């Protein structure tokens, strides 16, 4: 009986601690110009690479998405824009398009990067 109780307590604590993990706690550590390795050290692995592109001039862009945990105190998603191996922008989806919430196209990043 004690063994089962201890197991359930450990499992409950693990779930709570995992759920409290939030990218919002680490965003303040980011600095423009950080390399991907530095970003990974500060933020951990992204939930997904939401988009990636190599342009005709061979410059590149990746959009990393960090989602909040299930039981987090800071339920916000963050997108990090890594251009040519450097962090150039981060924020919540829609921060730079004047729109918040809902599906925001990745094209909000930069109008000057469009190919004709």
CATH number for 41: 3.30.1450.10
- Higher pLDDT, residue 53 or 12: 53
Nearest to 65 by CA among 33, 104, 83, 92: 92
Alpha-carbon distances of 50 from 14, 28, 62, 73, rounded to whole Å: 28, 21, 8, 24
CA distance 57 to 73: 42
Asked if residue 114 is part of any domain, the answer here is no
Give the residue carrying structure tokens 């094209």: 107
pLDDT on residue 110? 55
Domains in the chain: how many in total? 1
CA distance 55 to 68: 31
User: What tokens appear for 67 in the block?
Assistant: 């989602």
Asked if residue 115 is part of any domain, the answer here is no
pLDDT beyond 70 at 99: no
Domain of residue 18: give its range.
Answer: 2-109
pLDDT tens-digit series, residues 31-66: 999 999 999 999 999 999 999 999 999 999 999 999
pLDDT beyond 80 at 13: no
Asked if residue 116 is part of any domain, the answer here is no
Among 42-46, 74-78, 104-108, which stretch is predicted with the lowest mean pLDDT?
Answer: 104-108
């Amino acid at each position: 009986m004690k063994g089962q109780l201890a197991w359930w307590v450990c499992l409950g604590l693990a779930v709570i601690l995992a759920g409290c993990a939030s990218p919002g706690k680490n965003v303040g550590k980011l600095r423009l110009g950080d390399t991907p390795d530095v970003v990974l050290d500060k933020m951990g692995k992204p939930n997904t690479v939401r988009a990636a592109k190599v342009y005709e001039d061979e410059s590149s862009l990746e959009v990393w998405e960090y989602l909040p945990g299930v039981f987090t105190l800071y339920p916000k998603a963050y997108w990090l824009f890594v251009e040519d191996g450097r962090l150039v922008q981060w924020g919540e989806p829609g921060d730079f398009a004047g729109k918040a919430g809902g599906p925001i196209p990745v094209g909000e990043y930069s109008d000057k990067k469009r190919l004709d």
